[in-house]
Structure 1
Amino acid sequence: MLVAVGIGPGDPELLTVKAVNLIEQADQVFVPGTVAKDIIAPYRADPVVLSFPMTADEGYITRCIGKNADLIAPVARDGLAVFCILGDPNFYGTFGRLCAVLDEKYPEISYTSVPGVSSITAFTSAAGVTLNGGIEITDGSEQTATIRLKVRRPRETADELRKSGYTRFILAEKMYMDGQRIYQTDELPEESAYFSILYAGK
């Protein structure tokens, strides 16, 4: 099993209890560079440092990710491999690209992720900014997804978003609480709980 663990924006004390437990219990921990290695140093002294180059050379990036998958696969196949990622694993991270390679080369390996403090939520605390109302988060590329918070009528909201070209929807209700439910596009309920998030993708 491979677990991608979010290790937050830089302060080792901003790791979650679950993240620390997994890092300490793992058969092997992998990190994407020395910054991540330093963040987890209070909890693990022997991580394997992987190369995830910051370059526009897509071919080189793909080869590096393939080599990293080759290093992770034997551990994940027989035990617990933990891949530590700054911020949150699924929020502008390398985890998705690694999973695509694993799916192709090692389809027998299962993986999951544990959320971490993302750069966005860390920024609001560091800068003393409170966010309310609608916001836009982008890396400058074409917008392909939107997220709506506290969606009380998800099916109706999805119908509105379809007019703007969105076709895939996921509703998360009461995440990490008792009664958590995840609904896919064709399962959206008419009404949902206050603690709900609707993802829409193109």
Structure 2
Amino acid sequence: MLIAVGLGPGDPELLTLRAAGLLREADSVFVPGEMAYNLVAAYRRDAISLDFPMTSDESYIESCMEENAKKIAPYALSGTAVFGIIGDPNFFSTFSRLTAILKRDHPEIECSTVPGISSITALPSVADLSIQKSFSVSDGSDPDVRITLKVRRPQKIAAELKKEGYSEFVLVERMYMDDMTIYTNENLPEQSNYFSILYARKL
């Protein structure tokens, strides 16, 4: 098993309790470089640092991903391996590319993620800002994902978004609560709880 754990925006005190627990309990821990290692050092001095280059050379990035996947695979096959990554493992991170290789070469390895505080949500605290209306996040490329909060009428919103080219939908109702429910395109409800988030993506 391989679990990617978000390490937060850079302050070791901003790791979640879940992240700290997994770092302590894991059979092995991997991190992408010195900064991430320093964040986990209080929990795992034996963390293995891997090289994930910051470059635009796609062929070199891919070869490094292949090499790192080979290093992680034996640990994930024999026990619980944790990959600690700065921020959140599902936002602009290398983890999805890494798991694509692992799932291709070792489909028997179960991969999951544990969220971390991302720079997106940390920014308002650091800069003393208050965000009360809709906002967009971009790395400079054209957006293909839209996230809508407080979704009371999922079917209606999905129908409107389809006109804009969105075709994949996931609704999470009452996230991380005891009665959490996840819906997809096939079973979006007509109405949902106030604590609902709709993910929409252009395919």
Q: Do both share a fold (TM > 0.5)?
A: yes
Deviation per residue, 1:66-88 (Å, 9 max, x gap): 11111111111110000001010
Structure 2 gaps of 5+ residues are none
Instruction: State the shift of 1:41 in Å.
Output: 1.2
1:73 and 2:60 correspond: no
Instruction: State the shift of 1:40 in Å.
Output: 1.1
What letter corresponds to residue 96 of structure 1 in structure 2?
Answer: S
Pairing 1:18-97 to 2, within 5 Å after superposition: 18-97=18-97
What letter corresponds to residue 198 of structure 1 in structure 2?
Answer: L
2:183 corresponding residue in structure 1: 183
Instruction: State the shift of 1:15 in Å.
Output: 0.5
1:126 corresponding residue in structure 2: 126
**SS of residue in 1 equivalent to 2:179:** coil
Instruction: State the shift of 1:186 in Å.
Output: 1.2
What letter corresponds to residue 80 of structure 2 in structure 1?
Answer: L
Instruction: State the shift of 1:153 in Å.
Output: 0.4
Separation of aligned partners in 1, 2:103 and 2:161: 31
**SS of residue in 1 equivalent to 2:126:** helix
1:107 and 2:107 correspond: yes
Separation of aligned partners in 2, 1:133 and 1:186: 30
State the percentage of identical aligned residues: 54
What letter corresponds to residue 14 of structure 1 in structure 2?
Answer: L
1:117 corresponding residue in structure 2: 117
1:197 corresponding residue in structure 2: 197
Moved over 6 A (4+): none
Separation of aligned partners in 2, 1:124 and 1:106: 40
Instruction: State the shift of 1:107 in Å.
Output: 1.1
Instruction: State the shift of 1:97 in Å.
Output: 0.5
